[in-house]
Structure 1
């Protein structure tokens, strides 16, 4: 029997009768109930023959089964969902427990490391404080030694200056004494020379006077002889 085109029609929910239902499924646990007899009668009422209606319904059943297979591939049952949920919750609890243990161990390790760093910082701070105290003591000692050395140098310079001043004063005194002695000696020698000159002058005068008297005596003698 050939196919013939049927006019447009609308289907309402009241036109279906579920006295005869055909079961189709994608698996043993997934079943879909479909009233094929009501659909065949609906097609016959709209101009299709019984054979055409059965072929159309059979094709629809195959198409629906194929689509349901595709849909059911991504679907799970409530029991499987609960099992998966329990597995996920168990895994989450295990991960949470591991995270808590890891967090505690990491926190303990971190606290131990912090305590170690704190102790090292305290030791470093103490060493730094000791070095600063030692450096200050060394600087203070060096400053005091340098101050003492400067004072000693100043005292030594003052002593040397006093000695030089004393030597200069002594030298001046010696020079003054030498000059005084020289002046006295010169004065004494000058006085002696003056005395000697006076004596020689007196002797010369005496000699000249004697010579004059002698000459006069001789002259008088010659004069008397001539007269």
Structure 2
């Protein structure tokens, strides 16, 4: 708006410097053709009735006429006729129309420049929008690819961990089975040893009983022999 006002102001100054109003002289009525606004003869008689002689009264009236003419000349110089006023108004209207046309031309030119700048800015904004859309699409595609790669890596890692867990579980089951077999074999050996010990203990028990019985019978036989011998 400031730029438009400066250009408008420059146009107005240029127009006002190029065009000048027509200066017309004012047609003032000559002194001999003017009509006085008072009766000079009655004024002279009135002055004579108040003690002035005829020469003094005529001199006073002449002075009043001169003052009236000077006042009228001053007023006439500052006034214009209706025809001159209409001509001046027409000149002013023509000048205002010229200024209005210049303002319309400047306004249209300024609006055309603004419209061109707006179109240029719109094109630039569309280009920026397309570039941002392209960058967004590219970034989204890259992010999607990274997410897929990360998902594949996590899936592979999970599969590897699951495989290792299965291998560890299988190894644990094998070792558990082996340990159970060892424990079972050891238990069987212990049972066999216990059974052998029980058998041995039973055998030793029978031998001991037999030995004790033989010893008892031997002692009884000896005692019986001593008894018979002493008897």
CA contact (8 A) 1:40 1:57 kept: yes
TM-score (norm 1): 0.61
- The equivalent residue for 1:40 is 40
Q: Unpaired runs of 5+ in structure 2?
A: 1-24, 209-231
Query: Equivalent residues in 2 for 1:73-222 (5 A)?
Result: 73-77=77-81, 80-81=84-85, 84-85=88-89, 87-187=91-191
* Shift in Å, 1:31: 1.5
* Shift in Å, 1:171: 1.5
Between structures 1 and 2, the one with greater helix share: 2
- The equivalent residue for 2:69 is 65
Between structures 1 and 2, the one with greater strand share: 1
Aligned residues: 200
Any idea what the Cα deviations from partners look like across 1:191-223, whole Å, max 9, x if unmatched? Answer: 67778889999999xxxxxxxxxxxxxxxxxxx
CA distance in 1, matches of 2:56, 2:139: 113
Greater RCO, CA 8 A, separation 6+: 2
CA contact (8 A) 2:44 2:58 kept: no
Any idea what the Cα deviations from partners look like across 1:11-41, whole Å, max 9, x if unmatched? Answer: xxxxxxxxxxxxxxxx9831264456x8332
Any idea what the Cα deviations from partners look like across 1:151-181, whole Å, max 9, x if unmatched? Answer: 3333333323322221221111010122123
CA distance in 2, matches of 1:35, 1:173: 153
CA contact (8 A) 1:44 1:53 kept: yes
CA distance in 1, matches of 2:87, 2:194: 153
Q: Unpaired runs of 5+ in structure 1?
A: 1-26, 205-227
Structure ID, larger Rg: 1
CA contact (8 A) 1:40 1:53 kept: no
TM-score (norm 2): 0.60
